[in-house]
Amino acid sequence: MAARLTNQQSPGLTGESPSLETIGVEDENVLECAASDILERLPARLSHGILAWVEKTPDAPALNSNGRQLSYRQLGAAIDEAKALLLERGVRAGDRVMLVAENGIALACLFIALSELDGIGAVINARMSDREIDLIAADCDPRLVICTAGDSADARAHGRRLGAEPVSSNFGEFSWTKALASEAERVSPDPAQQVLAMIYTTGTTGAPKGVMLTHRNLSFIAFISGRLRGVRPGDRVYCVLPMSHVFGLSAVCCSVLFSGGCVHLVGRFSAAATLQAMQEDSIVGFLGVPTMYALMLEQLEQRARNNQPWQAACLRFMFSGGAPLDPDLKSRVENSFGMPLHNGYGLTETGPTICQTRLYAPLANCSVGYPLPCVEVKLLDKDGQIVAPGEIGELWVKGPNVMKGYFRKPELTAEVVKDGWFNTADLVFQDVTGAMNIAGRTKELIIRSGFNVYPPEVEAVLASHPSVSLCAVMGRKIAGDEEIIAFVQPVEGVDIDPDALLHFSRAFLAGYKLPSRIIIRQQLPTAPSGKILKHQLTEDVLRLT
């Protein structure tokens, strides 16, 4: 049946939303070029957009991590050193180099060096298990595996297990394997179309998939993101989102470096450390997933109880992404930080950004904003037809952000990319202004008693309860129907009565949307990015009787 969602309003902001026409005009003002000129502004290689600042602002800070800072001049020298080391170790054009790492200067320098060498950086989170690393290595067929031992104890452990040799460089300590027998990929004659990054998606089961992203994919997102967020030379932006996730890689780290700013690279999220950096290190921007904001709010409440003042005088923008943002969290963040919490949306396969709200036009609701310039979108029904205005459809995307494909998996690529259009498998509707609103994943849609139930809507209500820290809603097949299961993580030190939470939800949800069961967990599984890993809850759902 056709479905229409009313996007709940956040009380943190009010005002009319702009039209798509207004957005287009204002975007060109902010970007300082017409949308039709953007691709001509992009460098042939991602590294060129970063190294240009070595000449422009050589003494300005570029990278800050673990108490160390590099200027752009020093960054240029570090990249030259990394290039020489990689060539000496036998890296060829078209080779994949697995970078098993957590955020740090070494990872950034090695990745940018690969950009200069026509190499391909498969950035892998060091917090993955041995089994996960081995499965990715089998798929990736790397020439080298490099572990950034100086920035990550887990990377150091992986290096020891793999027999990697330690290396000490001016940009950090790491370990690497000997050059492995591998088949180099064919190098594109156009550097912009050459694959630069391979990001492995978080699969549920089965073989991993390496998403191939080109210089053009990454440079487009870096250029757009930095300018739309108003990042200026010298600005300091906090990057705790893992660079092994394309959100952290292109939309944060590379976007700041493209703008001549300084990236504060942080390996692991701590709410207390983040708030301290905002207060003491002149941080102008923070980008994170909703769980990070929820934990920072808890930390601010604790500080308030202890009469510990907090202020971030330089903070200009905050963005949420990577998971649905609920209205209650948005409102509380805006009230606590005194500024809009912006939102965005995308996937690994789209580099990642498809759309985002704009600094010049904050939205009161939890919309993920407007498509980026040069990015086309269409919403299709189950028969492949364009849906009526305001109706929910499956989102397809076309633009310079769309991946080249899945590594050595042409059949899987063909399943999701048709005539240049990528099927996100997400259910979306556009409101009257053209802003995008996420209803849920096609595979996560719950059909209960013939009615469509979208998990983000139920999660938003549950998360609005003051005792709920995190929650995840899933469907479970039962005889002739499907029931709704909610997993809830309480605020630290607080007990939650499932029956009381269900009673609370009745005031906001139709009966068919109410969870059949609410299961309390002191800790929900999350990825290093903070995203809730629903697939790890699947077995728990299957075991229910």
Torsion of CA 103, 109, 110, 111, to 10 degrees: 70
- Of 46, 103, 94, which Cα lies nearest the Cα of 238? 103
Instruction: Supply the CATH classification number for the domain 46-215.
Output: 3.40.50.980
Write out pLDDT tens, residues 205-247.
356 899 999 999 999 999 999 999 999 999 999 999 999 999 9
Write out pLDDT tens, residues 97-107.
999 999 999 99
Residue spans of the domains in the chain: they are: 20-41+269-441, 46-215, 446-543
**Residue 16 — very low, low, confident or very high, per pLDDT cuts 50/70/90?**
low
Strand partners, 511: none
Q: Does the fold of domain 46-215 match that of domain 20-41+269-441?
A: yes
Query: Does the domain at residues 20-41+269-441 carry the CATH identifier 1.10.10.10?
Result: no
pLDDT at residue number 1:
26
Task: Give the Cα separation of 470 and 80 in Å (integer).
Answer: 44
Task: Give the Cα separation of 365 and 369 in Å (integer).
Answer: 10
Q: Which helix (H) or strand (E) holds 223?
A: helix 215-228
- pTM score of the predicted model: 0.85
Write out pLDDT tens, residues 170-185.
999 999 999 999 999 9
Q: Is the peptide bond before 352 cis (omega within 30 degrees of 0)?
A: yes
Residue 224, amino acid = I
Instruction: Supply the CATH classification number for the domain 446-543.
Output: 3.30.300.30
Cα distances from 130 to residues 126, 127, 177, 197, 242, in angstroms, run 9, 9, 16, 22, 19
